[in-house]
Amino acid sequence: MSSAKGKHVEVASARNRLGATLQNLVDQKDDGPSDSEEVTHPVLPTPRSSNSNSASPKKSPSKANRKRKRKDDLGSLRSGQPQHTYVMKLFDRSVDLAQFNEETPLYPVCRAWIKNDPQSKEPLVAPPVQRSPSPSQDIKPGSDDEMDRFPDVYELPPPIKQEKSDIHVDHRVPVPTPQPQEHLDIHSTNEGAPPEQLLINHMARWKETRNRWQITGLKNEMRYADSMCILKQMYDRQCQK
Protein backbone atom coordinates (compact mmCIF):
# COMPACT_ATOMS: atom_id res chain seq x y z
CA MET A 1 0.00 0.00 0.00
CA SER A 2 2.83 2.38 0.85
CA SER A 3 4.69 1.51 -2.38
CA ALA A 4 1.61 2.38 -4.49
CA LYS A 5 1.24 5.68 -2.66
CA GLY A 6 4.93 6.48 -3.22
CA LYS A 7 4.63 5.77 -6.96
CA HIS A 8 1.59 8.06 -7.15
CA VAL A 9 3.50 10.89 -5.47
CA GLU A 10 6.49 10.36 -7.80
CA VAL A 11 4.26 10.48 -10.91
CA ALA A 12 2.55 13.69 -9.70
CA SER A 13 5.93 15.29 -8.99
CA ALA A 14 7.20 14.34 -12.46
CA ARG A 15 4.12 15.85 -14.07
CA ASN A 16 4.60 19.09 -12.18
CA ARG A 17 8.24 19.31 -13.26
CA LEU A 18 7.30 18.62 -16.87
CA GLY A 19 4.64 21.36 -16.80
CA ALA A 20 7.11 23.84 -15.31
CA THR A 21 9.70 23.00 -17.98
CA LEU A 22 7.18 23.52 -20.78
CA GLN A 23 6.07 26.80 -19.24
CA ASN A 24 9.71 28.00 -19.15
CA LEU A 25 10.12 27.16 -22.83
CA VAL A 26 7.01 29.18 -23.65
CA ASP A 27 8.33 32.13 -21.64
CA GLN A 28 11.65 32.00 -23.49
CA LYS A 29 9.85 32.09 -26.82
CA ASP A 30 7.98 35.26 -25.86
CA ASP A 31 9.59 38.66 -25.28
CA GLY A 32 10.36 37.87 -21.72
CA PRO A 33 11.36 40.44 -19.06
CA SER A 34 13.18 43.74 -19.59
CA ASP A 35 16.67 43.92 -21.00
CA SER A 36 18.15 45.28 -17.80
CA GLU A 37 17.35 42.07 -15.87
CA GLU A 38 19.46 38.96 -16.17
CA VAL A 39 17.14 36.04 -16.92
CA THR A 40 18.13 32.60 -15.63
CA HIS A 41 16.07 29.44 -15.82
CA PRO A 42 17.04 26.48 -13.66
CA VAL A 43 17.10 23.07 -15.30
CA LEU A 44 14.56 20.92 -13.53
CA PRO A 45 15.57 17.35 -12.84
CA THR A 46 13.85 14.55 -14.69
CA PRO A 47 12.12 11.73 -12.81
CA ARG A 48 15.18 9.50 -13.31
CA SER A 49 17.51 12.01 -11.70
CA SER A 50 15.18 13.11 -8.91
CA ASN A 51 17.57 11.99 -6.23
CA SER A 52 20.59 13.70 -7.81
CA ASN A 53 21.59 17.29 -7.24
CA SER A 54 19.98 19.96 -9.42
CA ALA A 55 22.03 21.18 -12.39
CA SER A 56 23.57 24.63 -12.44
CA PRO A 57 21.34 27.34 -13.92
CA LYS A 58 22.04 28.37 -17.50
CA LYS A 59 21.32 31.67 -19.18
CA SER A 60 18.63 32.22 -21.74
CA PRO A 61 19.85 31.85 -25.37
CA SER A 62 17.99 35.02 -26.34
CA LYS A 63 19.94 37.17 -23.87
CA ALA A 64 22.70 37.89 -26.39
CA ASN A 65 20.16 39.08 -28.93
CA ARG A 66 18.52 41.36 -26.39
CA LYS A 67 21.89 42.81 -25.37
CA ARG A 68 22.77 43.45 -28.99
CA LYS A 69 19.41 45.14 -29.58
CA ARG A 70 19.86 47.28 -26.49
CA LYS A 71 23.33 48.33 -27.65
CA ASP A 72 21.94 49.31 -31.04
CA ASP A 73 19.20 51.39 -29.39
CA LEU A 74 21.74 53.19 -27.22
CA GLY A 75 23.92 53.87 -30.24
CA SER A 76 21.02 55.29 -32.19
CA LEU A 77 20.04 57.53 -29.28
CA ARG A 78 23.59 58.82 -28.91
CA SER A 79 23.79 59.53 -32.63
CA GLY A 80 20.70 61.76 -32.37
CA GLN A 81 18.44 59.76 -34.69
CA PRO A 82 14.78 59.95 -33.61
CA GLN A 83 13.22 56.58 -32.94
CA HIS A 84 9.62 57.77 -32.80
CA THR A 85 7.51 60.44 -34.41
CA TYR A 86 5.26 62.93 -32.67
CA VAL A 87 3.49 64.95 -35.35
CA MET A 88 1.52 67.97 -34.19
CA LYS A 89 -0.85 69.80 -36.55
CA LEU A 90 -1.59 73.46 -35.90
CA PHE A 91 -3.38 75.80 -38.31
CA ASP A 92 -3.17 73.37 -41.27
CA ARG A 93 0.59 72.88 -40.77
CA SER A 94 2.37 69.91 -39.22
CA VAL A 95 5.70 69.45 -37.45
CA ASP A 96 7.44 66.40 -36.02
CA LEU A 97 8.39 67.28 -32.43
CA ALA A 98 10.29 64.02 -31.86
CA GLN A 99 13.36 65.34 -33.67
CA PHE A 100 13.86 68.10 -31.08
CA ASN A 101 15.15 67.73 -27.55
CA GLU A 102 14.25 69.71 -24.45
CA GLU A 103 17.03 72.27 -25.01
CA THR A 104 16.05 73.14 -28.59
CA PRO A 105 15.18 76.83 -29.03
CA LEU A 106 11.73 77.79 -30.23
CA TYR A 107 12.96 79.31 -33.50
CA PRO A 108 13.96 75.96 -35.18
CA VAL A 109 10.64 74.44 -34.11
CA CYS A 110 8.71 77.32 -35.68
CA ARG A 111 10.83 77.09 -38.81
CA ALA A 112 10.03 73.38 -39.15
CA TRP A 113 6.34 74.15 -38.60
CA ILE A 114 6.43 76.77 -41.37
CA LYS A 115 8.19 74.24 -43.63
CA ASN A 116 5.19 71.89 -43.18
CA ASP A 117 7.14 68.70 -43.95
CA PRO A 118 7.01 66.37 -40.92
CA GLN A 119 8.50 63.46 -42.90
CA SER A 120 11.69 65.36 -43.67
CA LYS A 121 14.65 64.34 -41.53
CA GLU A 122 17.10 66.88 -42.89
CA PRO A 123 18.97 69.07 -40.40
CA LEU A 124 16.97 72.20 -39.79
CA VAL A 125 19.89 74.23 -38.49
CA ALA A 126 21.67 75.81 -41.41
CA PRO A 127 25.48 75.87 -41.29
CA PRO A 128 26.99 79.24 -40.44
CA VAL A 129 27.81 81.37 -43.43
CA GLN A 130 31.49 82.11 -43.78
CA ARG A 131 31.82 85.82 -44.41
CA SER A 132 34.99 87.32 -45.70
CA PRO A 133 36.32 90.05 -43.43
CA SER A 134 35.94 93.52 -44.80
CA PRO A 135 39.22 95.46 -44.95
CA SER A 136 37.51 98.77 -44.25
CA GLN A 137 35.98 97.58 -40.96
CA ASP A 138 38.79 96.93 -38.49
CA ILE A 139 36.66 97.66 -35.45
CA LYS A 140 35.64 94.48 -33.64
CA PRO A 141 32.27 94.26 -31.89
CA GLY A 142 32.58 95.01 -28.20
CA SER A 143 36.01 96.65 -28.48
CA ASP A 144 36.97 99.99 -26.95
CA ASP A 145 37.23 101.62 -30.37
CA GLU A 146 33.65 100.69 -31.12
CA MET A 147 32.50 102.06 -27.78
CA ASP A 148 34.27 105.35 -28.49
CA ARG A 149 32.93 105.57 -32.00
CA PHE A 150 29.39 104.39 -31.22
CA PRO A 151 28.60 105.19 -27.59
CA ASP A 152 25.58 103.67 -25.90
CA VAL A 153 22.36 105.62 -26.38
CA TYR A 154 20.12 105.88 -23.34
CA GLU A 155 17.83 108.66 -24.53
CA LEU A 156 16.96 110.42 -27.77
CA PRO A 157 17.14 114.16 -28.32
CA PRO A 158 13.88 116.06 -27.81
CA PRO A 159 11.95 117.33 -30.83
CA ILE A 160 12.44 120.81 -32.19
CA LYS A 161 10.34 123.26 -30.24
CA GLN A 162 7.73 125.29 -32.02
CA GLU A 163 6.93 128.91 -31.50
CA LYS A 164 5.15 129.59 -28.25
CA SER A 165 1.66 131.02 -28.35
CA ASP A 166 -1.10 131.66 -25.88
CA ILE A 167 -3.43 129.38 -27.79
CA HIS A 168 -2.79 125.66 -27.62
CA VAL A 169 -2.10 124.34 -31.11
CA ASP A 170 -1.77 120.67 -32.02
CA HIS A 171 0.97 120.49 -34.63
CA ARG A 172 -0.37 117.19 -35.93
CA VAL A 173 -3.74 118.66 -36.95
CA PRO A 174 -3.83 121.02 -39.94
CA VAL A 175 -5.79 124.21 -40.19
CA PRO A 176 -9.34 123.42 -41.34
CA THR A 177 -10.20 124.11 -44.94
CA PRO A 178 -12.27 127.28 -45.10
CA GLN A 179 -15.83 126.98 -46.23
CA PRO A 180 -16.71 128.58 -49.58
CA GLN A 181 -18.49 131.90 -49.32
CA GLU A 182 -21.80 131.62 -51.09
CA HIS A 183 -24.22 134.46 -51.69
CA LEU A 184 -27.79 133.68 -50.77
CA ASP A 185 -30.14 134.70 -53.54
CA ILE A 186 -33.72 134.84 -52.33
CA HIS A 187 -35.02 135.20 -55.85
CA SER A 188 -33.47 131.96 -57.10
CA THR A 189 -35.59 129.00 -58.06
CA ASN A 190 -36.12 126.02 -55.78
CA GLU A 191 -34.23 123.69 -58.04
CA GLY A 192 -30.85 122.62 -56.57
CA ALA A 193 -27.54 122.04 -58.31
CA PRO A 194 -27.20 118.81 -60.28
CA PRO A 195 -25.56 115.85 -58.50
CA GLU A 196 -22.56 115.86 -60.85
CA GLN A 197 -21.73 119.46 -59.95
CA LEU A 198 -22.06 118.75 -56.23
CA LEU A 199 -19.72 115.74 -56.53
CA ILE A 200 -17.08 117.80 -58.32
CA ASN A 201 -17.24 120.51 -55.66
CA HIS A 202 -16.92 117.98 -52.81
CA MET A 203 -14.00 116.15 -54.48
CA ALA A 204 -12.04 119.37 -54.88
CA ARG A 205 -12.60 120.28 -51.23
CA TRP A 206 -11.56 116.88 -49.85
CA LYS A 207 -8.44 116.76 -52.02
CA GLU A 208 -7.34 120.03 -50.51
CA THR A 209 -8.09 118.68 -47.01
CA ARG A 210 -6.01 115.56 -47.65
CA ASN A 211 -3.05 117.62 -48.87
CA ARG A 212 -3.22 119.74 -45.73
CA TRP A 213 -3.02 116.63 -43.53
CA GLN A 214 -0.06 115.22 -45.47
CA ILE A 215 1.92 118.46 -45.32
CA THR A 216 1.24 118.88 -41.61
CA GLY A 217 2.32 115.28 -40.93
CA LEU A 218 5.64 115.78 -42.73
CA LYS A 219 6.32 118.98 -40.81
CA ASN A 220 5.65 117.22 -37.52
CA GLU A 221 8.01 114.34 -38.43
CA MET A 222 10.79 116.80 -39.26
CA ARG A 223 10.79 117.85 -35.62
CA TYR A 224 12.20 114.38 -34.79
CA ALA A 225 14.89 114.38 -37.51
CA ASP A 226 17.78 114.05 -35.01
CA SER A 227 16.21 111.01 -33.34
CA MET A 228 15.53 109.38 -36.70
CA CYS A 229 19.19 109.81 -37.71
CA ILE A 230 20.39 108.09 -34.53
CA LEU A 231 17.97 105.19 -34.95
CA LYS A 232 18.93 104.77 -38.60
CA GLN A 233 22.63 104.60 -37.72
CA MET A 234 21.93 101.94 -35.09
CA TYR A 235 19.88 99.91 -37.57
CA ASP A 236 22.53 100.11 -40.31
CA ARG A 237 25.26 99.08 -37.85
CA GLN A 238 23.30 96.01 -36.76
CA CYS A 239 22.67 95.00 -40.38
CA GLN A 240 26.40 95.07 -41.14
CA LYS A 241 27.27 92.62 -38.35
Of 25, 54, 77, the last residue of a domain is 77
Supply the pLDDT for residue 50: 45
Considering the domain architecture, whether residues 14 and 50 belong to the same structural domain is answered as yes
The 8 Å CB, 24+ separation contacts for 199-204 are: none
Q: From CA 44, how far away is CA 55, in angstroms rounded?
A: 8
**16 shares its domain with 51:** yes
187: in domain: no
Per-residue pLDDT of the chain (241 residues; tens, 9 = 90+): 556 667 778 888 888 888 888 788 777 766 555 444 444 444 555 545 444 444 444 545 555 666 665 555 555 545 555 457 888 888 888 888 888 888 888 888 888 888 888 887 655 455 555 655 554 545 455 555 656 677 788 888 888 887 777 777 787 888 888 887 776 666 666 666 788 888 988 899 999 999 999 999 999 999 999 999 999 988 888 888 6
Give residue 231's Cα distance to chain centre.
30
Q: How far apart are CA 158 and CA 227, in angstroms?
A: 8
Task: Tell me which residue of 98, 66, 65 sits closest to 83, measured CA to CA.
Answer: 98
Global confidence as pTM: 0.33
Q: Are residues 30 and 93 in the same domain?
A: no
Pairing of strands 58-59, 87-90: unpaired
Q: How many CB atoms lie within 10 A of CB 99?
A: 22
The pLDDT value recorded for residue 37 is: 46
pLDDT at residue number 85: 81
Q: Do 13 and 98 share a domain, yes or no?
A: no
The 3-state secondary structure of 135-163, one letter per residue: CCCCCCCCCHHHHHHCCCCCCCCCCCCCC
Q: Are residues 35 and 89 in the same domain?
A: no
CA-nearest of 73, 110, 74, 76 to 93 is 110
Number of domains observed in the structure of the chain: 3
Q: Which of 89, 142, 144 is nearest to 118 (CA)?
A: 89
Does 150 lie in the same domain as 89? no
225 with 201, same domain?
yes
